[in-house]
Amino acid sequence: MKKNKLLCTILAVVITTATLAGCSKTTKVTDSSGKTKLAEVPITIYVAGDKPKLQDQVNQYISEQTKSELNIKLTTNYIPWADYSTQIKLKAAAGENYDIFLSFFGDLPGQISRKSALDITSLIAKDGADLKRVIPADLWKSVTSTDGKIYGIPSVYPMTGMGRGFLVRKDLRVKYNLPEITDIASMENYFAAVKKNDPSLIPMLAPNLGMIAGDKTLIDHYTYHFGAGNADAAGALAIDVTQTPYKVVSSATAPVDLAIRAEDVKAMANGWLEKDILTDTDRDGKFIQGKAAAMGGDLFNITDRQNSLTKNVPGAELELAIINKDGKWYGTDPCNNFGVISSTSKNPERAVMFMNWMRKSKDNWNMFMLGKPGLTYTVAGDKVQVPAGTAPADKYNPCPWFAQQTDFITFFDTDPKSYIDALTSWNKLKIEPSSLATFVYSNKNVLAEDAAVMKVITEEGKPITAGLITKDSDIKKYYDDLDKAGLQKLITDAQTQLDAYLKTQK
Amino acid sequence: MKKHFDLFNSLNVIFLSIVSMITLLPFLLVLGSSFSDENTIAKYGFSIIPRKFSLAAYKSIFSNVSTVINAYKVTLTVTIVGTVLAIAITSMVAYALSRKQLRYRNVLNLFIYIPMVFSGGIVPFYIVIHKLGFVDNIWGLIIPMVFNPFNFFLLLNFFRGLPDEIVESAKIDGAGEFRILLSIVMKIALPGIATISLFYSLAFWNEWTLALYLINKTELYPLQFLLRAIMQRATIIAGSNAHFTGVIPAESVKMATVIVTIGPILLVYPFIQRYFIKGLTIGSVKG
Amino acid sequence: MFLSLIKHILFKGGVDLQVEENIQTATKKPLVCIPKKRKHFFLYEMKRNWELYLMTIPAVVFLLVFSYYPMLGIQIAFKEYNIVDGMWKSPFVGLLYFKAFIKSRFFGQVTFNTLYLNFLFIVSMTVVSLTIALLLNEITSSKLKKIFQTAMFFPYFISMIIVSAIVYSLLNDKYGAINALLRSMGLQTHVWYNMPELWRGILTFINTWQGFGYTVIIYLAVIISMNPEIYEAARTEGASKLQEIFMITLPQLIPTIIIMTLLALGGIFKGNFGLIYTIVGDNGMLLSKTDVIDTYVFRLMRVDGSFSLATAIGFYQSILGFVVVLTFNKLSKLYDDSMGLF
């Protein structure tokens, strides 16, 4: 083992000296004909999920196909979802040399301040022409810091109002002779029908009925919540998007939240929600076993749940119910997935070139996302198929989120119609832009108060919102406890940050 | 007198049987569910005797037989090598620090104790194991675990309780410390050694975080890491904005992962048990 | 702290009069001099026991590499860590992260929960394990003994996720086994997951259930190594079983009990995050009784887990735990000097 190490070091030194001697800083070599040639470099990507069985072969295929254009040796490594965020931070801290990694809206500010995300402004300007072309301008805002530096490459996928939809058992709805669910009334009718006709089922598996926020009775006070990607994970703070100038208020007393709470109380009283709703360890499991009639989820959940459901409950069909589809859609949700270049990367320019190459055309993109024709997929008309004889568990299923581009997506012939329809309709939405989509709140100045507020919300707020606690005295105590925990300080701090941010957006 | 004793014995057996039921029943539940057809679990919940027998869960885990067999190989190697090394290191230092003649023994005890309470956190540990070159290296699964202060203190306590006469008489006969340790102490302290061997091997067997930190090559995935990945596919991270795609395995598969882990241990454990039977050590002490 | 330890040892081992006068006056114990060798006490000790010290080297090196060197990382608790500046050069922020936790309104409640829950865990585990080890030792049939011992070990292998699933399958309101049983008997069901007062007990039970097999083995190993001659003598004098246990076995078990308790006390501020979070999760209804320091901080860290914050809290927990252990170790040494950890 020691000998190997020594050999490797010697080789490394020789190669480095050779390359340095022969190349310019950007590892490009001018060969005899005067054309610039690239030296081969390894490019390592870290994403979340489980490594598909054929990932290595696909990587090799890509490396071969792009030899003249990129000349890279591609490696894709996977980290389980649950461990991803911590692990990727650790790897950066340990100085591991990887190039591209999947990042999320909530993690990016931390990565910028910890300097693990590389500033790629100049690299994008030089090698990112196709990226600029296919990624809409407003998405770039979510990866650009206030001083104009770009720190990541946004993914393109529907992200607006994903919480406005939820998964419904279409077969049951049809059985009860009910029309499609489009508003609160039809939703309630469905739940009531489930309770009456199939009392052994759970009508709705969700922590609360937040989807009603899109209903036309509430849409005029559409509320943006801090959290889920923002520092205040408990969502203590809210802003009514329809009122300008934006004012930060406590979500506990915001009109939309109060309406959701009232609806939950009603649902809990009618038995539409589980009584021990707060401890739900396996909603997916229950749903795909056919124990529930509806569940929270968005269009990206459809395919997997449908496939699992069909195995357990023959004849079960899923649809995505959307509340107030034709109403206004406020673009307050951030772009949540990016491909980020690591500051520990040895070849950032080549990494950007790779990302750019992927977005250059659908065919390029498919080389990663679909894999190698014949090996991981076969063409079937305008759709694709898993090659015959492949076990379902071996389907080539890469993590697309670091470079997602939904207009490039090719559907599998096994994809449920509901998914295809949902994706198509989401791509066509008319969205009201809002600068809140790229606002990041940092709780650094108020850590103690935020910790206390989060506890109050988790301990008292969530049970109240879920409809488990309804006594007025308890609700008053909740408001008092929020004040005592320091909510006002949080609000003032957030308002200050928001105002400063909005100024830069003008 | 004898009657009293018999009553006590019978009550004792009954009581311990009840206790064993409390520990066994959940396990039997897991065992039964692992052999259950998934749909019956969905309808009727977990059961000790499967309502409808099915090997589907095991087929799913072993679907990629080579990966699983490989993981067993890795874990087995790591466990055996690791435990042997650990016993060597731990018994040496525990023996040394159990000898009253060692003036600095309390300082060293404190030195060993402090890491049990103080830790720099995962970041520095991670950096250290990376810098030591343990990435994608089987030694990375072994070396960071060859010494555990908890097991050390257990063995220390054990060695402290050994009769001094034996050691003294051996010294008079001119034996060096190493010789005393190997030929005498290890034998009379067998229950203690057996105990920490068990603990160390269990630790190696169940370990997965080191693999998470260090291993990217699928050939080096240890068993627990593989099984955990299988289990996790079912756990959707609530509130995450990252969307999960993939096959959601059944409840029965989750149960089967437990059986797959514990299976080998159950086969080995009876062999280790004889060290816990009274009488084995008495002879050597007397002699 | 360390300084006084060094003084203590140097003093006990014999010391140069002129060099250590202040120790003399401070401790007022008579001096023990080893005239010729005073100045080279350390070397004398090394020469005398070189084999034994040699035996300690692998363990010492291991700890230096894997524990003490990484311990330097504790400094990031006081810094605003970023990977470019690394541990050493990141900007200093002092007690910012400590204050974030301590100043927080629920610091007291959460710390109390941590201590109380851990106290329950330790007491329950000790009492249960001891009792069962003693009882197991009295079983005459070695076959039965083996069976019981093996049975007790099973829970250790069941990972927390599965335990949580089993608990859920029992206590779930709609489909849980317990409620189903109650319904079939015509009794009233309860929403177990919404009743906080039960959960300290439930968590303690689960913790004990999972770990007692392990601890029983430790006590059992010590019991079977005890000299049988004493028992024979006691029996000839007509001692009853109970007397045997309380007068002979238990006293000999005290050093082990003390060591096990001391080892457990070191973590008394750390509260078993894995167990609590997997079983209770974010169920707000149960938080008042089960929220510990680690789960409280976890919520803050979930969004942007700052390593500095994690290290600061960890350090805070370590210091407190260490103080507790030092105190109890000292107490145990007062009882009998050969006991304790160090």
> CB C147 to CB B20 under 8 A?
yes
Structural domain of residue A101, as residue ranges?
A: 26-158+336-369
Distances (CA, A) of C221 to B153, B155, B280, C249: 14, 11, 12, 12
> CB A109 to CB C175 under 8 A?
no
Cα(A436)–Cα(A239) distance, integer angstroms: 9
Find the closest chain B residue to A338 by CA distance: B242
Relative to beta strand A237-240, strand A248-250 is antiparallel
Considering only residues 176 to 205 of chain C, which have any Cβ-Cβ distance to chain A shorter than 8 Å? 191-194
Least CB-CB distance to C162: which of B132, B152, B255? B255
> CB A86 to CB B63 under 8 A?
no
Distance, C-alpha C276 to centroid of its chain: 16
In a domain, residue C275? The reply is yes
Chains B–C, number of C-beta pairs less than 8 Å apart: 269
Q: In chain C, which residues have their Cβ closer than 8 Å to the Cβ of A455?
A: 106, 110, 287, 291, 296, 299
Relative to beta strand A223-225, strand A378-380 is unpaired
Alpha-carbon Rg for chain C, nearest whole angstrom, is 26
Structural domain of residue B234, as residue ranges?
A: 63-286
Contact present, B185 and B284 (Cβ < 8 Å): no
pLDDT in tens, chain B (287 residues): 556 668 888 888 999 999 999 888 888 888 888 898 877 776 777 888 888 888 888 887 787 788 888 999 999 999 999 999 999 999 999 999 998 888 899 999 999 999 999 988 888 898 899 889 898 999 999 999 999 999 999 999 988 888 888 888 888 888 888 888 888 888 888 888 888 998 999 899 988 889 988 888 888 999 988 888 777 664 432 223 234 444 455 678 878 888 888 877 777 777 767 665 543 343 333 33
- Shortest alpha-carbon distance between residue A29 and chain B (Å): 32
Rama region for A229: left / alpha / beta (φ>0; ψ in -120 to 50; rest): left
Q: In chain A, which residues have their Cβ closer than 8 Å to the Cβ of C85?
A: 115
Question: Does B103 reach chain C within 8 Å, measured CB to CB?
Answer: yes
In a domain, residue C106? The reply is yes
Q: In chain A, which residues have their Cβ closer than 8 Å to the Cβ of C193?
A: 276, 278-279
The total number of residues shown for chain B amounts to 287
The continuous run of DSSP H or E covering A43 comes out as strand A41-48
Q: What's the whole-model pTM score?
A: 0.80
In this structure, what CATH number is given to the domain that contains residue B267? 1.10.3720.10
> CB C59 to CB B192 under 8 A?
no
In a domain, residue C165? The reply is yes
Distances (CA, A) of C148 to B21, B273, C1: 9, 11, 46
Q: In chain C, which residues have their Cβ closer than 8 Å to the Cβ of A233?
A: 299, 302-303
Total number of domains in chain C: 2
> CB B112 to CB C144 under 8 A?
no
Q: What are phi and psi of A283, to 5 degrees?
A: -65, -45
Model confidence at C261: pLDDT above 70: yes
In terms of domains, do C31 and C115 share one? Answer: no
> CB A451 to CB C299 under 8 A?
yes
Q: In chain B, which residues have their Cβ closer than 8 Å to the Cβ of A76?
A: none
Residue-wise pLDDT for A304-317, tens only, equals: 888 878 877 889 99
Q: What are phi and psi of B97, to 5 degrees?
A: -80, 0
Q: Which residue has the higher pLDDT, A193 or C40?
A: A193
Confidence of residue C39 (pLDDT cuts 50, 70, 90): low
In terms of domains, do B40 and B98 share one? Answer: no
Its ipTM equals 0.86
Total number of domains in chain A: 1
Q: Give residue A36's pLDDT.
A: 63
Mean pLDDT (whole number) for C38-51: 81
Q: Which residues is A263 bridged to in the sheet?
A: none
Q: In chain B, which residues have their Cβ closer than 8 Å to the Cβ of C310?
A: 121
Q: In chain A, which residues have their Cβ closer than 8 Å to the Cβ of C102?
A: 448
Q: In chain B, which residues have their Cβ closer than 8 Å to the Cβ of C169?
A: 45-46
* Cα dihedral sign, C32-C37-C40-C41: negative
Question: DSSP secondary-structure letter at A49?
Answer: S
In terms of domains, do B79 and B13 share one? Answer: no
Q: Give residue C27's pLDDT.
A: 46
Q: Which site among A114, A345, A478 would you substitute to test the C interface, given the most C Cβ atoms closer than 10 Å to its Cβ?
A: A114
Amino acid at C181: L
In terms of domains, do C173 and C273 share one? Answer: yes
Interface chains of chain C (3 or more CB pairs under 8 Å): A, B
Q: Which residue has the higher pLDDT, C132 or C342?
A: C132
Chains A–C, number of C-beta pairs less than 8 Å apart: 133
Confidence of residue C6 (pLDDT cuts 50, 70, 90): very low
Question: Does B282 reach chain C within 8 Å, measured CB to CB?
Answer: yes
In terms of domains, do C24 and C110 share one? Answer: no
Distances (CA, A) of C45 to B96, C10, C14, C104: 13, 11, 11, 51
In terms of domains, do B192 and B85 share one? Answer: yes
Cα(C118)–Cα(C112) distance, integer angstroms: 10
In terms of domains, do C217 and C108 share one? Answer: yes
In a domain, residue A330? The reply is no
> CB B147 to CB C150 under 8 A?
no
pLDDT in tens, chain A (506 residues): 344 444 444 444 444 444 343 333 444 544 444 456 788 999 999 999 888 889 999 999 999 999 999 999 999 999 888 788 888 888 888 888 999 999 988 788 888 888 889 999 999 999 999 999 999 888 888 888 878 899 999 999 888 888 889 999 999 999 999 999 999 999 999 999 999 999 989 999 988 898 998 899 998 888 888 864 444 446 788 999 888 889 999 999 999 999 999 999 999 999 999 888 888 767 887 888 888 999 998 888 888 888 878 877 889 999 999 999 888 898 888 788 899 999 999 999 999 999 999 999 999 999 999 999 999 999 988 899 888 888 766 788 899 999 999 889 999 888 889 999 998 888 888 888 888 888 888 887 888 888 888 889 888 998 899 899 999 999 999 999 999 999 999 999 999 999 998 888 77
In this structure, what CATH number is given to the domain that contains residue C323? 1.10.3720.10
Question: Does B27 reach chain A within 8 Å, measured CB to CB?
Answer: no
Question: Does B28 reach chain C within 8 Å, measured CB to CB?
Answer: no
Find the closest chain C residue to B273 by CA distance: C146
Model confidence at C273: pLDDT above 60: yes
Rama region for A115: left / alpha / beta (φ>0; ψ in -120 to 50; rest): left
Total number of domains in chain B: 2
Helix axes C273-280, C199-224, angle to 10 degrees: 140
Question: Does A49 reach chain B within 8 Å, measured CB to CB?
Answer: yes
In a domain, residue C45? The reply is no
Question: Does C143 reach chain A within 8 Å, measured CB to CB?
Answer: no
Q: Give residue C336's pLDDT.
A: 82
Going by C-alpha positions, the residue among A395, A448, A458, A500 that lies closest to residue A207 is A458
Longest CA–CA separation in chain C, Å: 88
The continuous run of DSSP H or E covering B259 comes out as helix B251-273
Q: In chain B, which residues have their Cβ closer than 8 Å to the Cβ of C228?
A: 278, 282
Q: Give residue C32's pLDDT.
A: 52
SS3 assignment, position C83: coil
Q: What are phi and psi of A432, to 5 degrees?
A: -80, 115
* Cα dihedral sign, A72-A78-A84-A88: negative
Query: How many alpha carbons fall within 13 Å on the CB side of residue B266?
Result: 14
In this structure, what CATH number is given to the domain that contains residue A102? 3.40.190.10
In terms of domains, do B229 and B178 share one? Answer: yes
In a domain, residue A144? The reply is yes
Exposure b/e, B69-97, CB count within 10 A at least 16 = b: ebbbebbeebbebbbebbbebbbbbbbbb
Contact present, A485 and A457 (Cβ < 8 Å): no
> CB B248 to CB A300 under 8 A?
no
- Shortest alpha-carbon distance between residue C289 and chain B (Å): 23
Structural domain of residue C22, as residue ranges?
A: 1-35
In terms of domains, do B37 and B129 share one? Answer: no
Cα(B189)–Cα(B199) distance, integer angstroms: 16
Cα(C261)–Cα(C247) distance, integer angstroms: 21
Find the closest chain C residue to B176 by CA distance: C51
Here the tokens at position C123 are: 């007491």
In terms of domains, do B49 and B67 share one? Answer: no
In a domain, residue C72? The reply is no
Going by C-alpha positions, the residue among B132, C62, B147, B83 that lies closest to residue A2 is B132
Contact present, A341 and A98 (Cβ < 8 Å): no
> CB C60 to CB B111 under 8 A?
yes
Here the tokens at position B172 are: 């008079």
Here the tokens at position B38 are: 């998934």
Find the closest chain A residue to C165 by CA distance: A281
SS3 assignment, position B208: coil
Question: Does A318 reach chain B within 8 Å, measured CB to CB?
Answer: no
Cα(B216)–Cα(A192) distance, integer angstroms: 51
Question: Does B92 reach chain C within 8 Å, measured CB to CB?
Answer: yes
Confidence of residue C25 (pLDDT cuts 50, 70, 90): very low
In a domain, residue C60? The reply is no
As a whole-number percent, the residues of chain C with pLDDT over 90 amount to 23
Question: Does C291 reach chain A within 8 Å, measured CB to CB?
Answer: yes
